[in-house]
Amino acid sequence: MNSLNGIGMTSQRTRDRLISRLEEEGIRDSRVLDVIRNTPRHLFMDEAMASRAYEDTALPIGHGQTISQPYIVARMTEAILQSAIPSKVLEIGTGSGYQTAILSQLVDQVYSVERIEHLLNQSRQRLMKLNMRNVHLKLADGYAGWRQHAPYDAIIVTAAPSTIPNDLIQQLAYGGQMVVPVGETHHQKLLLITREEDGVSEQELELVSFVPMIKGQHSGRTI
């Protein structure tokens, strides 16, 4: 149990320091802050990296990918909780599974799609170990979303496409919201898109730096 709630790996004080930092950076939603405080981020990365798990920084997870910075995870999660708590959420880019784990504690059902099999398998094991049963994972190209379970009340895209993928808008419920970093590698605008009956409205949240969203499923086992 100790390793699951993270005490032993890091002191509660280290975790609290991360939460203070997120508050200083403008995160206000106490539901999001509480979930981040209680989620063992060090379990979502290699042991070699785990001593840095409660720093507010993105860290490598292999395959040229990163676990998102806690501030960004908090910001994106806060954005989709703002108007109402979404019941069904789609995430594109499972990666380490950390953002998935945060969402699973705040909404009813989480669907998450990843294109790299090894990352998806690792995430599946971690989420099972934490007993997060409302999470559904799929190996696929996220540009196509996950049609079978659409429409979603919210969609979180954690890799950056150069334009907003149309299939994802189509899978958003009317009134639903999508938070997505749009632009070129490491220079994107984080957008909050709301689907309306007659189109979409767009709000720019801030400038961000995500890994690119890549077309097609990954094959091969190189790290």
Place of tokens 């009134």: 175
Question: What is the C-alpha to C-alpha distance for residues 14 and 170, in angstroms, rounded to an integer?
Answer: 42
Q: Which residues fall within 8 angstroms of residue 212, CB to CB, at 6 or more apart?
A: 159, 160, 161, 185
> CB 85 → ligand SAH: shortest distance, Å?
20
CB of 171 to ligand SAH, least distance (A): 14
- SS3 of 142, please? helix
How far, CA to CA in Å, does 151 sit from each of 48, 88, 106, 136, 146? 39, 8, 18, 15, 9
**Of the two residues 199 and 216, which places its CB atom closer to ligand SAH in the complex?**
216
- What are the phi and psi torsion angles at 91 (to 5°)? -110, 135
Catalytic residue, from 30, 68, 87, 219: name it. 68
Q: Give the total of residues touching ligand SAH (CB under 6 A).
A: 23
Stretch that binds ligand SAH, among 5-13, 90-98, 125-133, 145-153 (CB under 6 A): 90-98
Closer residue to ligand SAH, CB minimum distance, 9 or 61: 61
Strand-strand pairing, 135-139 and 152-157? unpaired
In the bound state with ligand SAH, the residue whose beta carbon lies nearer, of 176 and 181, is 181
**What Cα–Cα distance (Å) separates residue 197 from each residue in 119, 167, 169, 210?**
36, 16, 12, 30
Per CB under 6 A, contacts with ligand SAH among 93-122 are: 93, 95-96, 98-99, 113-116, 119
Residues 156-215 that bind ligand SAH (CB under 6 A): 158-159, 211, 213-214
Residues designated as active site? 68
Contact residues for ligand SAH (CB under 6 A)?
65-68, 92-93, 95-96, 98-99, 113-116, 119, 141-143, 158-159, 211, 213-214
